[in-house]
């Protein structure tokens, strides 16, 4: 009898062990399925997010470049041709004997120094009919270069007579504080210079030409520009930046 009871106990114990093992296997399979489902869900969500970002980037249409064509008065000389051509604001007579290309970044301290030193000489060369100057705004240093470049393009397009002064002022204005300026700050700055027309204000507010500055920066690399400011005279990059007198002499030499 005792032997029969002992066998019965062993049988019950083994059955319980089998049931426990089966339950553990079932729970393990359930855990694996849940983990797999979560993993698949995460992959789907990530794919959707990445796909959405790529779609948004791919579907975003870059803004059209600025346009301008007309004349301005410069250094007391009227009817100086002014326009935007490709990556540059172009100022000067089409038949000027010398072409100057200046690549500059509104956030570049050296560009600010060069503008202060040579800017008036460039304008005088333009007004005298000695040179046509292509001003290429690009971004090398900070985001101010893009934001200020876009604002300057808005002024060039809508209020060209005020562009030379605004161009110079943007360099002088750059500081640690203004480096973080937003659109409203540039609108206020333009307003302080009497630039308040509706089209210009909306253009600056929209930061409309940031894509243009980015595109110009890429184009400048193709032109061999590795830093700012960089000056070309008749397509020849100057190994050192000429001061006012040296620039006049270089233009005279290029005229032949």
The span from the CA of 87 to the CA of 104, in Å, is 12
Segment of 24-38, 47-61, 231-245 carrying the highest mean pLDDT: 231-245
Pick from 60, 85, 110: which residue ends a domain? 60
The pLDDT assigned to 256 comes to 86
pLDDT of 81: 99
Least confident range of 19-28, 35-44, 153-162, 181-190: 35-44
pLDDT of residue 160 exceeding 50: yes
- Whether residues 36 and 73 share a domain: the answer is no
> Based on the domain organization, do 151 and 41 belong to the same domain?
no
SS3 78: strand
Instruction: Write the CATH number for 101.
Output: 3.40.30.10
Query: In angstroms, what is the C-alpha Rg of the chain?
Result: 34
DSSP-derived secondary structure for 17-77:
HHHHHHHHHHHHHHHHHHHHHHHHHHHHHHHHHHHHHHHHHHHPPPPPPP--EEEEEETTE
- The mean pLDDT of 53-77, rounded to a whole number, is 76
Alpha helical stretches, state H, the chain = 2-59, 109-127, 144-158, 163-173, 183-192, 198-205, 210-222, 244-255
Q: Give the tens place of pLDDT for each residue, 194-226.
A: 999 999 999 999 999 999 999 999 999 999 999
Q: How confident is the model at residue 8 (pLDDT cuts 50, 70, 90)?
A: low
* Residue 207 and residue 103 in one domain: yes
The answer to whether 68 and 157 have CB atoms below 8 angstroms apart is yes
Is the separation of the CB atoms in 153 and 212 below 8 Å? yes
Q: Please provide the size of the chain in residues.
A: 256
Q: Are 117 and 243 in contact (CB under 8 A)?
A: yes
* Residue 2 pLDDT: 46
The two tokens of residue 210 are 């940031």
Does the reported pTM lie above 0.85?
A: no
Task: For tokens 């579907």, name the residue.
Answer: 59
| Residues 96 and 168 reside in one and the same domain | yes
- Over residues 77-91, the mean pLDDT reads 98
The residue range of the domain holding 45 is 1-60
Judgement on whether residues 52 and 78 belong to the same structural domain of the protein: no
The verdict on 1 and 125 lying in the same domain is no
- Buried b / exposed e across 146-161, counting CB within 10 Å, b at 16+? bbbbbbbbbbbbbbbe
Which is more confident, 41 or 189? 189
pLDDT over threshold 80, residue 7: no
The confidence score (pLDDT) of residue 31 equals: 64
Instruction: Show the tokens assigned to 77.
Output: 């000389």
Both tokens of residue 113?
């120094």
Q: What confidence score (pLDDT) does residue 49 get? A: 45
Q: Per the structure, how many domains does the chain have? A: 2
- Per residue in 125-142, pLDDT (tens digit) is 999 999 999 999 999 999
pLDDT on residue 23: 63
Indicate if 153 and 106 belong to the same structural domain: yes
Q: Are residues 217 and 113 located together in one domain of the fold?
A: yes
Confidence of residue 63 (pLDDT cuts 50, 70, 90): confident
If asked whether residues 125 and 56 sit together in one domain, one would say no
Per-residue pLDDT at 20 = 58
Give the end of a domain, one of 18, 36, 60.
60
CA-to-CA distance for 30 and 2, rounded, in angstroms?
42
Q: What is the residue-averaged pLDDT of the chain?
A: 87
Say yes or no: 136 and 32 in one domain: no
How high is the pLDDT of residue 44?
A: 44
Is residue 215 within 8 A of residue 67, CB to CB? The reply is no
Neighbours of 82 (CB within 10 A): 22
Confidence band of 173 (pLDDT split at 50, 70, 90): very high
Q: Averaged over 177-186, what is the pLDDT? A: 98
Q: Could you tell me if 100 and 219 lie in one domain?
A: yes
User: At CA 93, angle to CA 165 and CA 77, rounded to 5?
Assistant: 50
Answer for the pair 247, 118: CB distance below 8 angstroms, yes or no. Answer: yes
Mean pLDDT within 146-158: 99
- Same domain membership, residue 51 and residue 76: no
């Amino acid at each position: 009898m005792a032997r029969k009871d002992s066998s019965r106990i062993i049988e019950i114990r083994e059955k319980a062990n089998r049931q426990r093992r089966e339950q553990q296997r079932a729970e393990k399979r359930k855990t694996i399925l849940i983990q797999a489902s979560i993993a698949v869900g995460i992959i789907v969500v990530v794919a959707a997010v990445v796909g959405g970002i790529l779609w948004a980037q791919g579907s975003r249409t870059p803004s059209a470049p600025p346009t301008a064509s007309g004349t301005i008065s410069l250094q007391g000389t009227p009817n100086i041709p002014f326009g935007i051509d490709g990556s540059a604001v172009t100022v000067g007579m089409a038949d000027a004997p010398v072409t100057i290309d200046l690549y500059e970044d509104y956030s570049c301290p050296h560009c600010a120094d060069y503008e202060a030193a040579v800017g008036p000489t460039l304008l005088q060369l333009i007004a005298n009919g000695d040179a046509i100057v292509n001003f290429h705004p690009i971004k090398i240093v900070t985001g101010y270069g893009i934001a200020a470049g876009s604002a300057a393009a808005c002024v060039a397009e809508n209020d060209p007579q005020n562009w030379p002064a605004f161009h110079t002022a943007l360099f002088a204005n750059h500081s640690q504080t203004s480096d973080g300026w937003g659109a409203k700050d540039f609108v206020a700055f333009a307003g302080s210079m009497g630039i308040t027309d509706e089209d210009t204000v909306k253009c600056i507010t929209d930061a409309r030409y940031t894509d243009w500055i980015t595109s110009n920066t890429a184009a400048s690399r193709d032109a061999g520009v590795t830093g700012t400011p960089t000056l070309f005279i008749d397509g020849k990059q100057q190994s050192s930046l000429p001061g006012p007198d040296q620039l006049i002499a270089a233009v005279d030499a290029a005229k032949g």
